[in-house]
Amino acid sequence: MFGSNFCNRLAQGAVFLVFGTAAVSSSAAWQATSPASSPAWQRPPAAASAPAPAPITLADILRGAYGPYRVNNDLLSYHLEVRVDPDKQTISGKNSIRFKMLQDGTRIQLDLHSALGVDKILLGTTPLQYVRDSGAVFVDFPETLHSGQEYTIDFYYSGHPLQTARFGGFTFGKDPAGRPWIYSACEDIGASVWWPNKDQWRDEVENMQISVAIPNGLVDVSNGKFLGKTDLGDGYTRWDWLVQYPVNNYDVALNIGNYVHFSDQLGDLPLDFYVLPEDLEKAKKQFAQAKGMIEAYQHYFGEYPFMKDGYKLVEVPYSGMEHQSAVAYGNHFTNGYLGRDWTGVGVSPKFDFIIIHESGHEWFGNAVSAADRSDMWIHEGWTTYLEVLYVEYTFGHEDAQKYVNGYKAKVQNREPIIAERGIAATPPQDMYFKGALFLNTLRSVINDDARWWALIHDFYQHFKYQNIMTEDVVAYFNQQTQLYLTPLFDQYLRHTAIPTLELKFNEADGTLDYRWQADEPDFAMPIRVGKKTDWQIIQATTYWQTMKTPLKKNEFDVATDLYFVNVSKE
Ligand SMILES: [Zn+2]
């Protein structure tokens, strides 16, 4: 995701690991951090180190916690059918929600924004009772639903969806020529701003059908494979799309406009592009970058994750969003970010930031997903690092290092990257830039590029189509490297400050004392120091150690381009 006025806050837990088509609950890391007697939705808010946090509301908890009426079921599929009326600015329809019960129960929690009405909820032909509480809709069943059984309910709704939040929520807009341009972008506020669903991050459906009825002459582009369109005979046409992979709720999108379409192919992968007619020629030139981008990411991580659904770019009036297999694009068909040199070091003007960033989310964010919004760095830190990899693959190592170090100026170090769990809290923007700089640091710690490339490739392959937490990332890296990297991850992700390498020179006897100053007592990180042309690696810890050096204080360098650290010399 990326904002048009630069984001002060951007958004996104579990260990509800999805293996193949069967979701299984695992008692892994996420649960391990919250004692069984005090699950996430009951815990009092943690003491926040962030400046003046907004008070946590019941609505935040209902929205963000993986509460008892969410944990008792596992989503299987959605079929969302909506009719969009541009004149009345209303939507109406239903979502058929298929799920498996994981425990016996008579209640489940779904979500729908209070601006929208619930028309009825049916199990077969049986109307169900429900209770609304802020955005939550608790659905009650007249008889016990049994663990292991699958059920489908039809949730009918209608109303005027809210145009809200940084990305528009659901917007009835007009294109520059005055034609309807209607779109959804709801990562911040949640997908339930425009359709009923289990609005959380941990549990994803395995597949989804999206059917959008719109006035004849308009085009709807949604996620997945285009199945076809049907003239409904009442001035409306229904556009049918099929998502054949797990999908985050907020990635589900409709884009309705006077689009023209052109297509291409990369091997077996269909590439489809939808733009306003007046932008067709510009788009044909600019969108040629999509192929090189996909080739770069496939080089590092493996095959594009949504082959059967294809890859699409869809023009929108906001800057961009990683809607799965239908990436929203609003970067004005120019390189950089909204015409600017994004990291300010002359590299960004070589490529279209929005194509490269938002599409990177197909690998991190969409294929590998965080299970709680608190750990959204798994989306944004990794995807920002993917930009760096794109630059390295396309323009070389030197440009990549310049590019990632250009991000230092954007780091704030005001609060930790990982936010409070279970309240749908949005982590600070450091999750992007500091996240990428941390991963660049980790590459230097591994200090063997062949090893690093294999590690990040295997990490992606291991967790693709799953929803994970930071603990899963750390455990994987520890296990694969046989290094104890936990304090390193924790320092960069769970504390505000980056580590400082303290150097005390004793020039008279040609020695130097060094240690890390860090919040993590066990923090230890090797780092390259000395002469740039001939680095030497010291194994610094939080305890003072002494080394010999012929270099004077002002000649002694630290490889701060390769490690995101502070250095203090005295
Ligand atoms: Zn993003």
pLDDT bracket for residue 55 (50, 70, 90):
confident
> What pLDDT score was predicted for residue 458?
98
- How far, in Å, from the CA of 418 to the mean position of ligand 1? 16
> What pLDDT score was predicted for residue 6?
33
Place of tokens 């008792």: 72
Tokens of 235: 């001035």
- Taking CA atoms, 306 is separated from 148, 212, 397, 464, in Å, by 29, 21, 29, 11
Is 90 exceeded by the pLDDT of residue 5? no
- How far, in Å, from the CA of 389 to the mean position of ligand 1? 15
- How far, in Å, from the CA of 393 to the mean position of ligand 1? 20
Q: What is the pLDDT of residues 100-128, one digit of tens each?
A: 999 999 999 999 999 999 999 999 999 99
pLDDT bracket for residue 51 (50, 70, 90):
low
> What pLDDT score was predicted for residue 165?
65
Q: Going by DSSP bridges, is the β-strand pair 180-185/255-257 parallel, antiparallel, or unpaired?
A: antiparallel
Mean pLDDT of the chain: 91
Query: Are the beta carbons of 563 and 441 closer than 8 angstroms?
Result: yes
How many CB atoms are closer than 10 A to CB 456? 21
Tokens of 474: 């750390």
Q: Please state, in angstroms and rounded to a whole number, the distance separating the CA atoms of residues 107 and 121.
A: 13
Q: Please state, in angstroms and rounded to a whole number, the distance separating the CA atoms of residues 275 and 8.
A: 29
Is 80 exceeded by the pLDDT of residue 143? yes
The C-alpha R_g of the chain, in whole angstroms, comes to 25
- How far, in Å, from the CA of 383 to the mean position of ligand 1? 6
Residues 430-442 have a mean pLDDT of 98
Task: Kindly report the pTM of this predicted structure.
Answer: 0.91
- How far, in Å, from the CA of 196 to the mean position of ligand 1? 24
pLDDT bracket for residue 451 (50, 70, 90):
very high
- How far, in Å, from the CA of 524 to the mean position of ligand 1? 30
**C-alpha count within 13 angstroms, C-beta hemisphere, residue 47:** 0
- How far, in Å, from the CA of 4 to the mean position of ligand 1? 12
How many CB atoms are closer than 10 A to CB 188? 23
- How far, in Å, from the CA of 564 to the mean position of ligand 1? 21
DSSP sequence for 477-539: HHHHHTS--HHHHHHHHHSSSPPEEEEEEEGGGTEEEEEEE-SSTT--EEEEEEETTEEEEEE
- How far, in Å, from the CA of 138 to the mean position of ligand 1? 32
Strand partners, 352: 336
